[in-house]
Amino acid sequence: MDTSFQVKPFGFDRVFAEPERRREYRRKTDASDLAIEVEALRAELNALRQSQQDELARVRTEAFEAGLDHARTERDAAILSSLDALQASLEAVSDQRDELVAEYSSDAAELALVAADTLAGHAVRLEPGRTIDEAIGRVLSQVARGQEVHVTVHPDLLDDIERRVEARQANDRRRLFLSVSADPNVAPGDAVLVWERGGVTLDAAARRAAVMTELEPLLKRGDG
């Protein structure tokens, strides 16, 4: 019997394993879910952008404030330095001004003294009796009319003063009670005027001393 072709009985009781199915991942296809997710992403992106802008604004503000503080500090330092320099300049100018004022005052006082001496000496040399005649006029304007005034001068000026008294009388319609005498003790250019209730002495040395007394503070200021 040919064994190459044999019929064998089929085992109906055999169990065959069913092949495992592959899991399928289904993508979301619901439009509402996608819209919600997109809005959430947009909100998150906007929040990030806003946070970035807020941080940039904060950094800019802090940098600006820091710059202002630095500028104020430098400005205050510059102002203080300028004020110090200005104060020093003003003090220097004030010191120089005081020195100049003292120097000019001293020069002016000395010049005034020299001028007074020069003018007085020149007047005495040119018209020694003029100062006495002017003093007589001032006395006559102060004393009561009719009151006698006696004038004492140096002998060298007696004639000159008498002529001046005569000229004054000639120009006055009322009588002038004036008398003149000589005294060698009276310096040339000086005179003594006496009337009933008073008197006055013309003393060139005393006048110079009075001028010196007035000018002495200025002279001392210049020396200091």
Per residue in 85-125, pLDDT (tens digit) is 888 888 888 777 777 766 666 666 666 665 555 555 555 55
pLDDT of 25 above 50? no
pLDDT digit string, tens, across residues 161-177: 999 999 988 888 778 88
**Of residues 155 and 79, more confidently modeled:** 155
Q: Which CATH architecture has domain 127-223?
A: 2-Layer Sandwich (3.30)
**Of residues 123 and 126, more confidently modeled:** 126
Burial class (CB in 10 A: 0-12, 13-18, 19+), 51: exposed
Cβ neighbours of 169 (radius 10 Å):
14
Burial class (CB in 10 A: 0-12, 13-18, 19+), 193: buried
- CB within 8 Å of 208: residues ≥ 6 apart: 116, 117, 120
pLDDT of 202 above 80? yes
pLDDT at res. 129: 84
Beta bridge partners of 178: 149
**Of residues 20 and 135, more confidently modeled:** 135
- CB within 8 Å of 152: residues ≥ 6 apart: 180, 181, 182, 183, 186, 191, 192, 193, 194
Q: Which helix (H) or strand (E) holds 178?
A: strand 178-182
Contact indicator for 189, 131 with CB cutoff of 8 Å: yes
pLDDT at res. 14: 56
The pLDDT confidence band at residue 224, using thresholds 50, 70 and 90, is low
**3-state class (DSSP) for residue 136:** helix
Find which of 37-46, 101-110, 187-196 is predicted with most confidence, using mean pLDDT: 187-196
Burial class (CB in 10 A: 0-12, 13-18, 19+), 189: buried
pLDDT of 53 above 50? yes
pLDDT at res. 155: 94
As given in the structure block, the two tokens for residue 23 are 């899991």
| Dihedral in degrees, nearest 10, Cα atoms 211, 213, 216, 217 | -120
pLDDT at res. 151: 94
pLDDT digit string, tens, across residues 55-96: 888 888 888 888 888 888 888 888 888 888 888 888 888 777
